[in-house]
Amino acid sequence: MNAIELSPRQSIILDMVKEFGPITGTQIAEKLSLSRAALRSDLAILTMSGLLGARPRVGYYYTGKNPTELIAGVIGSIQVGDIQSRPIVIRENCSVYDAIVTMFIEDVGTLVVVSEGGFIEGVVSRKDLLKATMGGKNVNDLPVTLAMTRMPNIILTFPDELVIRAAQKLINHQVDALPVVEMVQLNQVEKYKVVGRFTKTNITQLFVHLAGN
Ligand code: ADP
C-alpha cells in the first residue's frame, strides 16, 4: 500500500529508481523514451512525498522509507492551526435554549462559552444540554453557565501544538472537541482568547487528505 496514490507512470519511475538508483532525471527520461520536461511533475511528486530523494549531480535515489514512516513523518509536523475549524461561541449570559438553537444553526456538537472579548469561560456539549432539559425547568430561564463545564477544568489546545498531541488529549480526556486558544496577559491575569476549534472531524479530514483524496 502506498501512502499516496501513484499514477502508473510514477510507479514505474519508483520501481526504476529502486532498481537502478542513484539515477539522473535524464537517464530515467531516456529509459522511458520521454523528454526530461515530461517527467518533471512526476519526479516532483515522488520527491515531495518523501519516497525519492534527490542529490545534485548524483541523481534520484529511493529513500527506503515505508508508507507508515512517511505518514508518521507528515503527521508529526502538522500543527493544530493548520487544520482547525472556526470557533463557534456563545456569550456567558445566554440561556440553555439559546445554546440549543446555536448548536442546531451552526451544526456543531460543542459550543465554547465566552465572556466579552472572546475569553473562554467554559464548554457545553450536546449531553450537557440534554441533561439540563431533563430537570423539567424552563430552558429559557436556565443560564448556560449552569450546564457548562467551567474553566479551569477545560482541556485546551494551541495553534502551534502538534496535531498528534491534541489528538492524544481528545482520547485521554474522552471529549469530542478542544477549544483552540491563545494566551493573553490582562492586568497580570492569564486569559485565554478563543481562536478556533479542534475536533475529531478535523482529524478525519486530515486522514482522508493524507490518503490522497
Ligand atoms: P457529549 O457530552 O455530548 O458526549 P463530550 O464527550 O465532548 O460530548 O463531552 C463530555 C463532557 O466533557 C461534557 O460534560 C462536556 O462539558 C465536557 N467537555 C467537552 N469538551 C471538553 C474540553 N475540551 N475540556 C473539558 N471538558 C470538556
Q: Whose CA is nearest to atom 18 of ligand 1?
A: 175
**Amino acid, single-letter form, for residue 23:** I
Q: Say if ligand 1 is within 6 A of residue 123 CB.
A: yes
Per-residue model confidence as pLDDT tens digits over 57-111: 889 999 887 767 767 777 788 999 999 999 999 999 999 999 999 999 999 999 9
pLDDT for the residue 141:
96
Distance 77 CA to ligand 1 centre (A): 27
Instruction: Answer whether the bond into residue 152 is a cis peptide, omega within 30°.
Output: yes
Distance 123 CA to ligand 1 centre (A): 7
Is residue 1's pLDDT more than 90?
no
pTM of the model: 0.75
Which ligand 1 atom sits closest to the C-alpha of 178? 23
Is residue 28's pLDDT more than 60?
yes
Per-residue model confidence as pLDDT tens digits over 116-133: 999 999 999 999 999 999
Distance 124 CA to ligand 1 centre (A): 7
Which ligand 1 atom sits closest to the C-alpha of 174? 6
Q: Say if ligand 1 is within 6 A of residue 144 CB.
A: no
Per-residue model confidence as pLDDT tens digits over 129-154: 999 999 889 999 999 999 999 999 99
Which ligand 1 atom sits closest to the C-alpha of 176? 7
The mean predicted confidence, pLDDT, of the chain is 92
* CA nearest neighbour of 109 among 192, 164, 169, 170: 170
Sorted by where each starts, the structural domains of the chain and their CATH numbers stand as: 8-70 (1.10.10.10), 80-212 (3.10.580.10)
Banded pLDDT at 114 (limits 50, 70, 90)? very high
Task: Please state which of the ranges 29-33, 57-61, 179-183 shows the lowest mean pLDDT.
Answer: 57-61
Q: Say if ligand 1 is within 6 A of residue 151 CB.
A: no
First to last CA, the chain: 15
pLDDT for the residue 149:
98
Q: When comparing pLDDT for 15 and 3, which is higher? A: 15
Residue 60 CB contacts under 8 Å (≥ 6 apart), including other chains: 17, 21, 22, 23, 24, 25, 28, 43, 46, 47, 52, 53, 54
Distance 194 CA to ligand 1 centre (A): 17
Q: Whose CA is nearest to atom 6 of ligand 1?
A: 175
Is residue 2's pLDDT more than 60?
no
Mutate which of 84, 85, 110 for ligand 1 pocket (most atoms within 8 A of beta carbon): 110
- Helix residue ranges, H only, the chain: 8-20, 25-32, 36-48, 67-75, 80-83, 96-106, 126-134, 163-173, 200-210
pLDDT for the residue 75:
79
Torsion sign, CA atoms 135, 140, 146, 147: positive
Banded pLDDT at 4 (limits 50, 70, 90)? low
Q: Whose CA is nearest to atom 8 of ligand 1?
A: 125
Which ligand 1 atom sits closest to the C-alpha of 153? 25
